[in-house]
Amino acid sequence: MQAFMKTWVAACQSGGNARMVIPAGTFLTSQLTFTGPCKGRVVVEVLGTVKAHTDISGYPTPEWFNFEDIDGLEVSGSGTFDGQGPQVWALNDCKKNSDCQMLPTSLKFSHVTNGKLRGISSLNSMAFHIGINNCLNFEVSSVKITAPAESPNTDGVHISSSTNVVVTKSVIGTGDDCVSFGQGTFNVSITDIVCGPGHGISIGSLGKYEQEKDVSGITVRNCTLKDTDNGVRIKTYQGSDPSKATHMVFENIKLINVKNPLIIDQLYCDRGCTKSPSKVAISDVKFRNIKGTSSTENAVSIICSSSVPCANVELTDIDIQMVGNKPTTSECTNAKMLFNGVQKPLTKCM
């Protein structure tokens, strides 16, 4: 750990363009926090395999590799971050135990401006693989994220309170959402992602906490989802505080054996729900050119809030059939809908 930190401090304070290299080989470490501000741009080149120590006491906060308060950062290379999740996943009991210890995110970027993450592999994270929080102008490209379908809470890329984020040309197979979005997220582009296994690509869950910030300007385009529990979805908690989720586009999505292909769920609840309506106002949502196969009969589910019904939800060229060319069904409540082109299944809203 001391070698990592000494090298980081030298690179960060050197001025100009600096490079920190993690060479070929295998390295074991617990929590590391790489803090700025730095005197110039820093590239962290990862060539070897870095393994996480599985003694949870070595993570006083839920991050493993944590980069924060940096302007001009690139983490890239052909190396691997191995979270060794199978040794600790059994400790993930936060849905049952309010005093649980959160397991660490493998790569966390906080308050990073002009950041890039390229080429690396993330294997078997303890919790999230990659977390992007309070960042501005951040790009993730050509990464490979892998964990088994049964691994708990192992979101591939989670983005929150960040603006101008791109995630592109990556392969993500994990036990939770391939890409997920939290509150305060603006102008995000997700393109050319192959997702599966996992829970699909999800905006939310929104409304879990008090006075959450709005979400706007999310585009998911040219993605393939295979053998996932969900396809593309927006989900908000019951009984949430008021906020807005608007201007969202899901376009050119290929589905292969997806259980729940197209979802807006404003009745979401995973514990201790009030069953009162969500107050997250969803509007200006476009689902366009979404085609492929569903492993369940109900392919389209638009369940919006009775308190603030969804507004301007567009379905254009939706063509989803069950595996074996069987017809699919849909459900829709509390939404103002617009329909164009092919509609399979045919969707009507009450």
Return the pLDDT at 95.
66
Q: Lowest-confidence range among 25-39, 86-100, 129-143? A: 86-100
**What's the pTM value of the predicted model, to 2 decimals?**
0.96
The token pair that represents 323 in the structure block: 């595996």
Q: Rounded to whole angstroms, how far apart are CA atoms 64 and 131?
A: 11
> What is the full DSSP assignment across 207-219?
SSSTTPPPEEEEE
Whether 184-350 and 1-86+103-146+156-176 are alike in CATH topology: the answer is: yes
Superfamily of domain 1-86+103-146+156-176: Single-stranded right-handed beta-helix, Pectin lyase-like (2.160.20.10)
What is the overall mean pLDDT for the chain?
A: 95
Q: For the chain, which residues make up each domain, given as ranges?
A: 1-86+103-146+156-176, 184-350
Return the pLDDT at 221.
98
Return the pLDDT at 98.
65
CB 84 within 8 A of CB 127: no
136-188 tens-digit pLDDT: 999 999 999 999 999 999 999 999 999 999 999 999 999 999 999 999 999 99
CB 128 within 8 A of CB 104: no
107-147 tens-digit pLDDT: 999 999 999 999 999 999 999 999 999 999 999 999 999 99
Segment 2-29 mean pLDDT:
94
264-305 tens-digit pLDDT: 999 998 776 767 899 999 999 999 999 999 999 999 999 999
Within 8 A by CB and 6+ apart from 16, the residues are: 39, 40, 41
Q: Rounded to whole angstroms, how far apart are CA atoms 326 and 62?
A: 45
Return the pLDDT at 108.
98
The token pair that represents 56 in the structure block: 């949870």
The token pair that represents 275 in the structure block: 């069953």
306-330 tens-digit pLDDT: 999 999 999 999 999 998 888 999 9
Q: Classify domain 184-350 at the CATH topology level.
A: Pectate Lyase C-like (2.160.20)
* 7 burial level (CB within 10 Å; 0-12, 13-18, 19+): middle
Return the pLDDT at 323.
86
Closest-CA residue to 344 (of 280, 297, 284, 276): 297
Catalytic residue annotation: 199
Grade residue 260 by pLDDT with cuts at 50, 70 and 90.
Answer: very high
Segment 29-44 mean pLDDT:
97
Q: Lowest-confidence range among 67-76, 100-109, 190-199, 276-285? A: 100-109
